[in-house]
């Protein structure tokens, strides 16, 4: 418990590592995660450190591993179960791993390149086949003598022949040329227009779309292509057409001159395509096999390389001693773990077979150590939300063990609904039961991870919400009537016929028998049916908020005594804690007392004289005790007394500590000299003179050494101390008022939640329940669905997050600024399990 309350005691230690066994020792320490290494070469550039070559080698291996993982992921091969945890490899084994990786990289590269070439080939052949098929259609189409565009009349041979061949063209003397190929579908219109503009009608473009999608080799996406056939007249036109085709990235294929040629080519293509398919399949199979074999050990390699790189990075932080045979490392280590540290060093030395063992040596330091607080899976969530505000200063009181209960409690005060609490608790309970399920733990969804990490917090919040929901008597905006209401209608209206008119009537507690006693568990269920429900609830909840707030803040002030006592600043107890507590309790503690007094001693019988507490409180400050009727005899005198105490505690708080410290440092200076004189008086007068001279010479340092421990190295700056204390005083006193008012958010959020819940019921569920035909039964199902969805999204998620935030703020600001400074550094041990892996961040693992 000491650890959770205060944090571990830490010490600075020096490790003397033998050169040969340094690697193994650090490997052992990394497995255990005990210590935090300090950088002993802060001025050295990253490129000038000793082990930079080894780190470069590790990065090279990581690059190859990244390439491997990407290929494995592309091929959709799943990695085997990741339970292995291999140790970091020794430097001599590193070469084998490196060679294996390089070999794999080369092989994979070759096979991939081959595959790409084959695929490109296949694509070309496929396109050629399509082109031939479709242009045959062009030719056959024109042979059916459809009346086409005007341009075709220029080529009279079309009417004669079904086949365009060079012989007939030459007979005509027309230098007719053909260009055929494929182009992307999106470009075909622009292509056509460009052709028309440039060639001005000396070309004919026929095109048709291919039905199937072909894979574009550059981007890998399926695209629609269009087969086109350009027949042109003249050489120069031919050049222009070719240039335009280049411009539009068309794939051109030779156009066959006769039908037989065309058929031959088609046949040839078909066989070639079949062959290519087989070869491609074989290549893909081989690639897959290589990747599967690699995937078996890739995870091990990743872990090993990561550990190796980490070890070299740590070795870079160490410095060599004078003889250059020994590495010195400075670490922060918890004092309780020093034996384990020694054992780890021995283990490392043994593993590397070193003759001289490495050892550890504690050294004193004035630096503030980092803060380590040991947590388990339950407390870590609460510690995280405390650390989010600020990590605790070394060895100061940790608010986390109290936050475990007060945070869910304050959340529940704002959330209080039995039904919603049950849903939240069940959800959290499910997460806790399945917390070891790997799939739940390792998802990449950030929002889910946040909820999962806080599963114990949500469970506590849900359980407390169930309790506060029971007390508020609010379950999905309806009240439970377990014990029977304390209010009786029968006693008020003896004759029921008196109330035939549609009126709203108020039950009067003065009438005997109407009010039979308070409901034993929470708020009476009759209030749920009343129209003036909020009048009563608002008064109740506001007073409750103030009471809870003052108690929470007083608890915070009391916790500061732990710090004062631990850091041996007992004067703080009288000069800081006591004035603070008196100020808080005399003013706001008295307010709480008045609230309880009014609840207990004023009832409906004297409700006309029931005082307003707020007015009394204000009058207390203004010292106008006689303006209103007193609550109890002697009230004026008591209030004056309390105000006087509170007012006097402010200057004590403001000036007490600086003046005391000033007196401690400078005032006692004379005392010490005097005592030194007294001490040696017995010996001789000469020695007295010597003593005095000695004192004069040493001056301040002498008296500083003999005063309290912490101050002997610091100069005491009165102005600085006074300013600090002044700020603290102002903050505390003004904060008391504003923080007490801030706790009213407990009332505000609880009201909002109750009202939202009621609106949802009245507007959604009641509509569904009111229909009493059979249709209503079917109508109820979607209505309930809507009700459920809105409940979860608005009331649970949105209100839950809102109440969470406000409860957190109440803790961070109102509670913790009474005692917590939170200026520490978190202890981050060197541990392999805590190192992030860049592959995991890329989603490759």
Q: Which of residues 361-380 bind another protein (CB under 8 A)?
A: 376, 379
Minimum distance of another protein from residue 554's CB (angstroms): 12
Q: Within 10 Å of residue 682's Cβ, how many Cβ atoms? A: 7
> Of 22 and 542, which CB lies nearer to another protein in the complex structure?
542
Minimum distance of another protein from residue 518's CB (angstroms): 4
3-state secondary structure of 17: strand
> Of 499 and 788, which CB lies nearer to another protein in the complex structure?
499
Query: In the numeric block, which tokens belong to residue 363?
Result: 């050294």
Output the 3-class SS for 268-296. Answer: HHHHHHHHHHHHHHHHHHHHHHHHHHHHH
Q: Are 730 and 666 in contact (CB under 8 A)?
A: no
d(CA 226, CA 395): 76
Which ranges of 161-203 does DSSP label H, i.e. alpha helix? Answer: 166-172, 188-199
Among 104, 244, 413, 582, binds another protein (CB under 8 A): 413
Contact string 545-574 vs another protein (x = CB under 8 A): --xx--x-----------------------
Among 218, 501, 686, 714, binds another protein (CB under 8 A): 501
Minimum distance of another protein from residue 377's CB (angstroms): 12
Minimum distance of another protein from residue 409's CB (angstroms): 5
Between residue 145 and residue 164, which ones bind another protein under the rule CB under 8 A? none
Minimum distance of another protein from residue 589's CB (angstroms): 15
* b/e code 386-397 from CB counts within 10 Å (16+ = b): bbebebbbbbbb
Minimum distance of another protein from residue 398's CB (angstroms): 11
577 belongs to the binding site for another protein (CB under 8 A): no
Cα separations in angstroms, 365 against 49, 178, 200, 319: 26, 90, 91, 18
543 belongs to the binding site for another protein (CB under 8 A): yes
Q: Are 591 and 617 in contact (CB under 8 A)?
A: yes
Residues recorded for the chain: 845
Among 186, 405, 690, 805, binds another protein (CB under 8 A): 405
d(CA 363, CA 659): 36
Between residue 720 and residue 759, which ones bind another protein under the rule CB under 8 A? none
775 belongs to the binding site for another protein (CB under 8 A): no
Rounding to the nearest 10 degrees, give the CA dihedral for residues 752, 753, 759, 761: -170
Minimum distance of another protein from residue 596's CB (angstroms): 7
First and final CA of the chain: distance in angstroms? 38
Among 191, 415, 456, 527, binds another protein (CB under 8 A): 527
Stretch that binds another protein, among 20-28, 180-188, 521-529, 564-572 (CB under 8 A): 521-529
Between residue 610 and residue 649, which ones bind another protein under the rule CB under 8 A? 610
- Residues forming a β-bridge with 11: 333
544 belongs to the binding site for another protein (CB under 8 A): yes
Q: Are 353 and 365 in contact (CB under 8 A)?
A: no
Minimum distance of another protein from residue 833's CB (angstroms): 21
Among 22, 68, 329, 523, binds another protein (CB under 8 A): 523
Minimum distance of another protein from residue 6's CB (angstroms): 11
Stretch that binds another protein, among 23-31, 496-504, 572-580, 722-730 (CB under 8 A): 496-504
> Of 206 and 468, which CB lies nearer to another protein in the complex structure?
468
Minimum distance of another protein from residue 458's CB (angstroms): 17
d(CA 183, CA 210): 10
Among 90, 186, 482, 505, binds another protein (CB under 8 A): 505
Minimum distance of another protein from residue 496's CB (angstroms): 5
41 belongs to the binding site for another protein (CB under 8 A): no
Among 22, 226, 241, 404, binds another protein (CB under 8 A): 404
Between residue 426 and residue 455, which ones bind another protein under the rule CB under 8 A? none
Cα separations in angstroms, 604 against 615, 676, 840: 20, 75, 68
> Of 240 and 455, which CB lies nearer to another protein in the complex structure?
455
Minimum distance of another protein from residue 392's CB (angstroms): 16
Q: Are 313 and 838 in contact (CB under 8 A)?
A: no
- Label the pairing between strands 326-334 and 319-320: antiparallel
- Residue 283 CB contacts under 8 Å (≥ 6 apart), including other chains: 111, 114, 115, 118
d(CA 601, CA 632): 10
46 belongs to the binding site for another protein (CB under 8 A): no
Among 447, 506, 719, 775, binds another protein (CB under 8 A): 506
> Of 257 and 528, which CB lies nearer to another protein in the complex structure?
528
Stretch that binds another protein, among 21-29, 150-158, 404-412, 835-843 (CB under 8 A): 404-412
Minimum distance of another protein from residue 580's CB (angstroms): 21
d(CA 771, CA 756): 23
504 belongs to the binding site for another protein (CB under 8 A): yes
Q: Are 493 and 440 in contact (CB under 8 A)?
A: no
Among 320, 452, 562, 602, binds another protein (CB under 8 A): 602
Task: Return the sign of the alpha-carbon dihedral for residues 522, 526, 528, 532.
Answer: negative
Cα separations in angstroms, 379 against 399, 427, 428, 440: 12, 19, 15, 20
- Residue 8 CB contacts under 8 Å (≥ 6 apart), including other chains: 334, 335, 336, 372, 373, 374
d(CA 41, CA 319): 7
Minimum distance of another protein from residue 561's CB (angstroms): 16
Q: Which residue has the tokens 């989603």?
A: 843
Stretch that binds another protein, among 199-207, 418-426, 597-605, 723-731 (CB under 8 A): 597-605
d(CA 432, CA 843): 26
Kindly state the number of chain residues that form the binding site for another protein, as judged by CB under 8 A: 74
Minimum distance of another protein from residue 506's CB (angstroms): 4
> Of 434 and 599, which CB lies nearer to another protein in the complex structure?
599
Contact string 455-494 vs another protein (x = CB under 8 A): ------------xx--xx----------xxxxxxxx--x-
477 exposed, middle or buried (CB, 10 Å; 0-12, 13-18, 19+)? buried
């Amino acid at each position: 418990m000491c650890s959770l309350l205060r944090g571990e005691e830490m010490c600075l230690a020096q490790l003397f590592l033998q050169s040969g066994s340094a690697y193994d020792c650090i490997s052992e320490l990394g497995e255990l995660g005990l210590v935090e290494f300090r950088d002993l070469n802060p001025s050295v550039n990253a490129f000038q450190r000793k082990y930079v070559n080894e780190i470069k080698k590790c990065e090279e291996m990581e690059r190859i591993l990244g390439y491997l993982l990407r290929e494995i992921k592309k091929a959709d091969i799943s990695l085997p179960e990741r339970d292995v945890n291999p140790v970091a490899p020794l430097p001599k084994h590193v070469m084998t791993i490196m060679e294996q990786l390089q070999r794999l990289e080369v092989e994979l590269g070759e096979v991939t390149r081959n595959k790409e070439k084959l695929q490109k080939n296949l694509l070309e052949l496929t396109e050629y086949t399509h082109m031939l098929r479709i242009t045959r259609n062009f030719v056959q189409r024109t042979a059916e003598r459809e009346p086409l565009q005007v341009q075709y009349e220029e080529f009279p041979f079309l009417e004669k022949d079904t086949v365009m061949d060079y012989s007939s063209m030459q007979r005509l003397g027309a230098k007719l040329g053909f260009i055929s190929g494929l182009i992307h579908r999106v470009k075909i219109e622009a292509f056509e227009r460009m052709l028309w503009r440039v060639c001005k009608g000396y070309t004919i473009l026929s095109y048709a779309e291919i039905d199937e999608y072909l894979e574009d080799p550059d981007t890998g996406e399926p695209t629609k292509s269009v087969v086109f056939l350009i027949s042109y007249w003249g050489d120069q036109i031919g050049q222009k057409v070719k240039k335009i085709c280049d411009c539009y990235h068309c794939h051109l294929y030779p156009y066959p001159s006769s039908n037989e040629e065309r058929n031959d080519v088609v046949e040839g293509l078909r066989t070639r395509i079949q062959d290519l398919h087989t070869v491609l399949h074989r290549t893909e199979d081989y690639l897959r096999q290589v990747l599967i074999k690699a995937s078996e050990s890739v995870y091990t390699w990743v872990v090993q390389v990561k550990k190796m790189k980490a070890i070299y990075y740590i070795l870079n932080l160490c410095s060599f001693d004078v003889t250059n045979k020994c590495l010195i490392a400075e670490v922060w280590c918890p004092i309780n773990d020093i034996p384990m540290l020694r054992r780890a060093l021995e283990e490392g030395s043994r593993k590397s077979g070193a003759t001289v063992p490495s050892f550890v040596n504690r050294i004193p330091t004035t630096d503030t150590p980092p803060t380590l607080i040991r947590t388990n899976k339950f407390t870590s969530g609460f510690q995280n939300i405390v650390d989010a505000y600020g990590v605790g200063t070394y060895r100061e009181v940790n608010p986390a063990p109290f936050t475990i209960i007060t945070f869910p409690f304050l959340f529940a005060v704002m959330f209080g609904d039995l039904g919603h609490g049950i849903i939240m608790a069940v959800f959290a309970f499910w997460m806790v039961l399945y917390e070891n399920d790997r799939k739940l733990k390792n998802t990449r969804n950030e929002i889910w991870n946040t909820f999962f990490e806080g599963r114990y917090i949500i469970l506590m919040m849900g359980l407390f919400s169930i309790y506060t929901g029971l007390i508020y008597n609010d379950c999905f905006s309806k009240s439970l009537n377990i014990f029977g209401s304390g209010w009786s209608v029968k006693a008020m209206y003896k004759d029921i016929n008196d109330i035939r008119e549609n009126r709203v009537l108020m039950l009067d507690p003065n009438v005997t028998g109407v009010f039979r006693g308070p409901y034993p568990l929470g708020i009476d269920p009759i209030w749920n049916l009343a129209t003036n429900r909020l009048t009563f609830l608002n008064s109740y909840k506001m007073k409750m908020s103030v009471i809870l707030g003052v108690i929470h803040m007083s608890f915070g002030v009391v916790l500061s005594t732990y710090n004062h006592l631990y850091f041996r600043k007992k004067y703080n107890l009288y000069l800081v804690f006591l004035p603070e507590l008196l100020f808080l309790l005399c003013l706001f503690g008295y307010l709480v007392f008045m609230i309880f007094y009014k609840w207990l001693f004023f009832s409906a019988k004297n409700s006309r004289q029931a005082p307003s507490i707020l007015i009394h409180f204000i009058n207390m400050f203004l010292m106008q005790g006689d303006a209103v009727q007193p609550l109890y005899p002697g009230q004026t005198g008591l209030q004056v007394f309390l105000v006087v105490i509170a007012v006097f505690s402010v200057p004590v708080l403001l000036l007490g500590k600086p003046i005391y410290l000033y007196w401690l440092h400078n005032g006692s200076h004379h005392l010490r000299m005097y005592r030194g004189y007294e001490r040696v008086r017995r010996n001789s007068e000469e020695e007295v003179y010597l003593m005095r001279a000695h004192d004069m010479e040493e001056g301040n340092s002498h008296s500083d050494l003999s005063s309290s421990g912490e101050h002997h190295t610091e100069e005491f700056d009165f102005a600085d101390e006074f300013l600090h204390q002044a700020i603290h005083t102002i903050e505390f006193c003004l904060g008391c008022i504003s923080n007490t008012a801030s706790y009213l958010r407990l009332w505000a959020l609880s009201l909002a939640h109750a009202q939202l819940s009621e609106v949802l019921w009245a507007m959604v569920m009641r509509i569904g329940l009111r229909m009493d035909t059979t249709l209503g039964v079917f109508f109820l199902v979607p209505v309930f669905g809507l009700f459920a969805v809105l409940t979860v999204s608005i009331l649970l998620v949105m209100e839950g997050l809102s109440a969470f935030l406000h409860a957190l703020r109440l803790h961070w600001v109102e509670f913790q600024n009474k005692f917590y400074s939170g200026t520490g550094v978190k202890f981050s041990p060197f541990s392999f399990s805590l190192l992030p892996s860049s592959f995991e961040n890329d989603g490759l693992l």
